[in-house]
């Protein structure tokens, strides 16, 4: 039996017991995939990260990401949370510090930046490792509505229509007409496979905020072991493709705030940054705060 240190963080929030919880197991090189999956199931959090030595000497660490039932090639809140955890462990939080890290994930190397300040939550962001691209066609409004417990008339918002995009993890993006429809949405397991297969669905609606482009979303992933996710960075990364497609962004840098987890009582805020040149998406970043919640030792 071996001992492994772990930390848990609440990610995409500045306040504990909100945001998206994450477990991070350190020095996990001696743990095989089957045991990683069992540990993730034991934590029963949306995701658990296992940190190992990097394969490249120029990178910070290699990580593997598990939900309670499957491994993911890439995920946003584990990337932000792990980057912040490693930066805090290396540099502490007693003084301001800016650090750059590269995390090796199954999707490829992910470049991260972390800012720490005394007495404040740390902020992390990462460059989206692969720009989003369209990934198939969504089913009919009737099938989408049936899988989400909604009416077909609830589907659609302004000029937004359902789409399928991926930036490493595939999602069907379903706009709904208002916050009431968003609140009523829920995963209907008997209709899910016909509409979404085993992938996740991201339901969203525009918000009236000082910034022109802002959204509130919910993510359901029942066949990934996540009934509902409080904050989904991989979906936000793919959502960059949706925003560019429908929002008519001008060339330059745009900040798109995304609220999530409100209906779950786990309020989260994801910052999506997109860069447009000649009318095309040329870069995207996902950022947010995270706070340490617990630490301990695994015996396994």
Residues with catalytic function: 47
Q: Quick one: how far is CA 47 from the chain centroid?
A: 10
d(CA 184, CA 197) in angstroms, rounded, equals 21
Provide φ and ψ at 145, rounded to 5°. Answer: -60, -40
d(CA 127, CA 83) in angstroms, rounded, equals 12
* Closest to 115 measured CA to CA, from 97, 95, 101: 97
- Joined tokens for residue 218: 């919910």
Give the list of residues 6+ apart from residue 228 with CB closer than 8 angstroms, or none. 187, 218, 219, 220, 221, 263, 264
């Amino acid at each position: 039996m071996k001992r492994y240190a772990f930390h848990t963080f609440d990610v995409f929030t500045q306040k504990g017991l909100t945001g998206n919880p994450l477990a991070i197991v350190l020095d996990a090189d001696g743990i095989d995939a089957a045991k990683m999956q069992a540990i993730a199931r034991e934590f029963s959090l949306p995701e658990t990260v296992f940190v190992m030595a990097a394969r490249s000497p120029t990178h910070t660490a290699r990580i593997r990401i598990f939900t309670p039932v499957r491994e993911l090639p890439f995920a946003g809140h584990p990337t932000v949370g792990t980057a912040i955890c490693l930066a805090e462990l290396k540099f502490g939080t007693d003084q301001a510090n800016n650090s750059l890290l590269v995390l090796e994930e199954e999707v490829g190397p992910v470049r991260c930046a972390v800012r720490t300040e005394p007495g404040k939550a740390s902020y992390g962001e990462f460059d989206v490792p692969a720009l989003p691209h369209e990934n198939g066609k969504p089913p009919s409004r009737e099938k989408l509505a049936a899988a989400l417990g909604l009416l077909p008339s609830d589907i659609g918002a302004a000029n937004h229509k359902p789409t399928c995009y991926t930036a490493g993890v595939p999602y069907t993006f379903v706009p709904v007409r208002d916050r009431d429809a968003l609140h009523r949405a829920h995963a209907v397991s008997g209709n899910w496979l016909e509409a979404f297969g085993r992938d996740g669905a991201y339901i969203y609606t525009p918000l009236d905020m000082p910034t022109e482009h802002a959204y509130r979303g919910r993510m359901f992933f029942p066949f990934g072991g996540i009934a509902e996710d409080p904050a989904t960075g991989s979906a936000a990364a793919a959502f960059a493709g949706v925003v560019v497609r429908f929002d008519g962004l001008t060339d330059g840098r745009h900040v798109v705030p995304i609220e999530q987890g409100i209906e779950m009582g786990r309020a989260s805020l994801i910052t999506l940054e997109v860069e447009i040149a000649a009318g095309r998406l040329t870069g995207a970043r996902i950022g947010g705060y995270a706070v340490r919640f617990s630490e301990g030792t695994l015996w396994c």
